[in-house]
Structure 1
Amino acid sequence: MANRVRGSRSKKDVQQNLSTTEELLETPEALQDRIVDTEEYIKQHSTVFIIGAAIIVLAVAGYFGYQYYQTSQNQSAQEEMFQAIYYFESDSLNLALNGDGNNYGFLEIIDEFGGTDASNLAHYYAGVIELRQGNYESAIEYLDDFSASDLLVQAQAYALIGDAYLELGEHQSAASQYEKAADYNTNQFFSPQYLVKAAMAYEAAGDYAQAATRYQRIINKFPEAYEYQEAQKQRARLEALASN
């Protein structure tokens, strides 16, 4: 019964709205009165309308201004990073990381051009350098701040974080990062390699069952992989250790 009452009211409201609309369409005088009322409302609240319009204009201008600024900053950062990449490829790691006094190193690019694509890539380079120099905690920090749309590079970054944890003796954390790398854009070329690393990290932690499970994943999912036959051997060995 209550539903019928609500439905009746809704129908009545609709009919009233239709009646008002028809009146505006049929009588120019009613339309003129409505326009006058609207004009009076705008006059009385002109400050509100002006502020609202100004906010919209500023928001739009701010968005495009920020996009232009980011594009400009990214271009400048890429130009500055050219020499740092050259030093990196020449194995001059300190110069690549810290600069040479005239050209920026990766750390300065991170500080000066934060939020740009170049700064993001500089985090990756800095992480690799810190890892090669034995600064494992710094390597983890820089690589963890890196993100890539390139699926293979992102997986590699996860694996490098795993390498750093492994060097620190944090085997469980290392295994977790290797598995993260294996599961990211899963493929038969790189995923088995990362799963082998995960298995080795679990074995170093004394968790033979988990290590055997990682080899089993290679056997189940990547029968065409280079690591397949070795995975069978290692799984059997670890299952025997786990049962003792």
Structure 2
Amino acid sequence: MKIIDINSIPRGCNVTKKKVDVDREKIALSMKRRQRRLYIIGLFVIVLSSCLSGWYSYQEKKDIQAQNDCFQAVYYFEAEDFSKALEGDGVNKGLLEVVKDYPYTKTANLANFYIGTSYMHQKEYDKALAFLTKTHFKDFILQARTWCVMGDVYSEQKNYKQAAAYYMKAAHYKENSVYTPGYLVKAAVAFEAASQYKDAYHCYQEIVEKYANAHYGSDLAIKESSRLSALL
């Protein structure tokens, strides 16, 4: 009978130990990879933050320069000398040059509003809309005013439906008793010009119901809503 050497038989515990060692190596490798990934992400965040901080600092300096260059052009705009406001006077920059020289600044954003309004007064309506659509204000007065001017542009083009839509947009943006009634009156006039008498009537009724103490509340709105009710 053949004698079997017990020591030659594989031990289960040795196999288990090898498996554990392999698992540990895998876990350690996975942790290293995760740490490396976190390090890269952290480095990226630091670099990005530094770049953004530098960008904002740079933009603030450019914005101050833009305000200085824009000062005389705004003066011409307020004096309704729209040609000089847009093109400059030969010494001082016009709004168009300011927007070109200082893009992405807050001043350029405001200048786009002035440019669009200037073109509207010069009856260059396509140019007016091109610049007005570039403006985006956090200030509710300026944003509503921008939509109102766009309504004026469409009204001048006799596109009364589109004009009314922008007047309504201005009226219902952060409603208030100072500006909303005026925008509603503009919307009502545009609706009536488009033969949308019911919508015009509702604009006046909204003033009567919500803004009775406003400038348009007790006189014009009541009178006009009464007149339009006969047309419904």
TM-score scaled by length of structure 1: 0.75
Give the counterpart letter for 2:129 in structure 1.
I
Query: How far apart, CA to CA, are the structure 2 residues paired with 1:241 and 1:46?
Result: 75
Q: What's the offset of the Cα at 1:180?
A: 1.2
Q: Which of 183, 203, 220 does residue 230 from structure 1 map onto?
A: 220
Q: What's the offset of the Cα at 1:192?
A: 1.2
Give the counterpart letter for 2:56 in structure 1.
Q
Give the counterpart letter for 2:127 in structure 1.
S
Give the counterpart letter for 1:135 in structure 2.
E
Q: What's the offset of the Cα at 1:133?
A: 0.8
Q: What's the offset of the Cα at 1:70?
A: 1.1
Summarize the Cα distance change of 1:152–1:55 in structure 2 as closer, same or farther, 3 Å threshold. closer
Give the counterpart letter for 1:224 in structure 2.
N
Query: How far apart, CA to CA, are the structure 1 residues paired with 2:168 and 2:81?
Result: 32
Q: What's the offset of the Cα at 1:176?
A: 0.9
Summarize the Cα distance change of 1:53–1:38 in structure 2 as closer, same or farther, 3 Å threshold. farther
2:199 matched residue in structure 1: 210
2:73 matched residue in structure 1: 84
1:181 matched residue in structure 2: 170
Cα deviation 1:131-175 (Å, max 9, x = unaligned): 111112222222222222332222222111111110011101111
| SS of equivalent to 1:214 | helix
Cα deviation 1:175-223 (Å, max 9, x = unaligned): 1111111112212222111111111101000111111111111111111
Q: Which of 215, 229, 232 does residue 239 from structure 1 map onto?
A: 229
Q: Which of 132, 135, 150 does residue 121 from structure 2 map onto?
A: 132
Q: Which has the higher helix share?
A: 1
Query: How far apart, CA to CA, are the structure 1 residues paired with 2:194 and 2:130?
Result: 23
Q: Which of 196, 199, 208 does residue 219 from structure 1 map onto?
A: 208
| SS of equivalent to 2:114 | helix
Identity of aligned residues (%): 35
| SS of equivalent to 1:79 | helix
**Is the deviation greater in 78-87 or in 45-54?**
45-54
Query: How far apart, CA to CA, are the structure 2 residues paired with 1:104 and 1:187?
Result: 37
Report how many aligned residue pairs link the two structures: 206
Cα deviation 1:53-105 (Å, max 9, x = unaligned): 54344222211111111111111111111121122233322121022344321
Does 2:117 match 1:119? no
Query: How far apart, CA to CA, are the structure 2 residues paired with 1:49 and 1:125?
Result: 48
Summarize the Cα distance change of 1:65–1:207 in structure 2 as closer, same or farther, 3 Å threshold. same
1:157 matched residue in structure 2: 146
Summarize the Cα distance change of 1:58–1:193 in structure 2 as closer, same or farther, 3 Å threshold. same
**Is the deviation greater in 148-157 or in 76-85?**
148-157
Runs of 4+ in 1 over 4 A off after TM superposition: 44-54
| SS of equivalent to 2:135 | coil
Give the counterpart letter for 1:240 in structure 2.
A
Query: How far apart, CA to CA, are the structure 1 residues paired with 2:206 and 2:123?
Result: 32
Higher Cα Rg, which structure: 2
TM-score scaled by length of structure 2: 0.79
| SS of equivalent to 2:103 | coil
Note the residue ranges of structure 2 that are not aligned, 5 or more in a row.
1-23
Summarize the Cα distance change of 1:45–1:117 in structure 2 as closer, same or farther, 3 Å threshold. closer
Summarize the Cα distance change of 1:47–1:101 in structure 2 as closer, same or farther, 3 Å threshold. farther
Q: What's the offset of the Cα at 1:47?
A: 7.7
Q: What's the offset of the Cα at 1:49?
A: 7.4
| SS of equivalent to 1:241 | coil
